[in-house]
Amino acid sequence: MFIGADKEEIETPALLIDLDVLEKNIRIMADYYRSKRDAALRPHQKGHRLPALARKQIDAGAVGVSMTSLGLAEFYVNSGIDDILITSEIYGRSKITKLCTLSKHSNITVGVDSIENVRQLSEAASAHDTKINIAVEIYLGKSRCGVQIEEAKSFVERLVRVRGVNFKGLWWHHKFSDATMNDFELRRKEAFETLDNIARLRDEIEDSGVSVEMLSGGHTCTWNITPEYPRLSNVQVQAGNYVFNDWCSALVKGTEVFDYALTVLTRCISRPAPDEAMFDFGMNSCADECGENYWKVVGPKFKDIQGIDEIYEREEISFARLKEPATKMRVGDLLEVIPPHADTTAKLHDKYYGIRKGKVEVIWPNYGRGLL
């Protein structure tokens, strides 16, 4: 495959980025944050894992990036992206040593939630003649890491006395219920209640004489909520999914301004019956998604195609039942499917094909897909 080739020449299944849509999504987010004095964007990278896209986000105004993986952070630093918040705790001698090395060459901050971990980071940093930036993760609900908010002030007061580490601030990851996700006003109310607690904690810590430089949290679903909260300044919002979007995320009210930039290109490979069609994509090329209780699994949807009743994915192929047997679909036809979860779909492919006006404009190797 070569630059300038028609989309029809790409071997299927393949991962496509609509560059016009991608750039529109980045521009919408950047324009909004450009108008907000008390908030900034620190986009999460767990989805696209591409330094080239991170650079586009930063050039558009993002203050840096966030990510969960130390391996991905190393890749980004080596690619010239050097303002990073790692939204996870780091354990193990080898990984902590790597963190020390990265701290010498970048502005990297790592999450902590135990004094034992802080001491491990301190000892390693002192041994490697560096200092490690740390931010305390605040526990905000079941299945999350973090320090209980009522214990956070005393925890900060303990860790600022530890050598080799530099306290930067606080970060959090709020988990919303399905009901909250489907109701913008309810989500706004719940988010503001969380931010009330963060604001009180920030004030308590600063009243004790400790500066809180970094405040970071939020998601794409709070991209236009967190910045409207009046009691905090310089909050860095970790929206990430907006870059690609997917059909499950698009159901969340308030995110409909972001269009689908990521699709999987596929071909119809069989019409075994009038109301059936088979395709050359499956779970190994387009991830499915599960609901809150993990009982209901949903799959992809076809882009710009009507008359599909249901899609069943197997590992390498998929089956679609047509509502109308007369639906015009021929063997060899090229189609695109919108994943229910863009983040996990992106990790299934070795490369992205950047498409503009039906032609391949860029091919990005997906080197970040397996970095943990």
Give pLDDT tens digits along the chain (372 positions): 789 999 999 999 999 999 999 999 999 999 999 999 999 999 999 999 999 999 999 999 999 999 999 999 999 999 999 999 999 999 999 999 999 999 999 999 999 999 999 999 999 999 999 999 999 999 998 788 999 999 999 999 999 999 999 999 999 998 787 778 789 999 999 999 999 999 999 999 999 999 999 999 999 999 999 999 999 999 999 999 999 999 999 989 899 999 999 999 999 999 999 999 999 999 999 998 875 544 567 899 999 888 888 899 999 999 999 987 656 889 999 999 999 999 999 999 999 999 999 999 999 999 999 998
Q: Could you identify the residue written with the tokens 């986009």?
A: 43
Q: Could you identify the residue written with the tokens 């988010």?
A: 191
Burial letters for 286-304: b for 16+ Cβ neighbours within 10 Å, e otherwise? bbbbeeeeeeeeebbbbbe
Hey, which residues does 44 pair with through a beta bridge? 66
CB 171 within 8 A of CB 214: yes
Cα 236 to Cα 243: distance, rounded to the nearest angstrom: 17
Q: Could you identify the residue written with the tokens 């209780």?
A: 293
Cα 34 to Cα 40: distance, rounded to the nearest angstrom: 8
Domain map of the chain by residue range? 36-243, 262-365
Q: Is the pTM of this model over 0.85?
A: yes
State which amino acid sits at residue 281.
Answer: F
CATH homologous superfamily for the domain 36-243:
Alanine racemase (3.20.20.10)
Instruction: Give the CATH number of domain 262-365.
Output: 2.40.37.20
CB 118 within 8 A of CB 165: yes
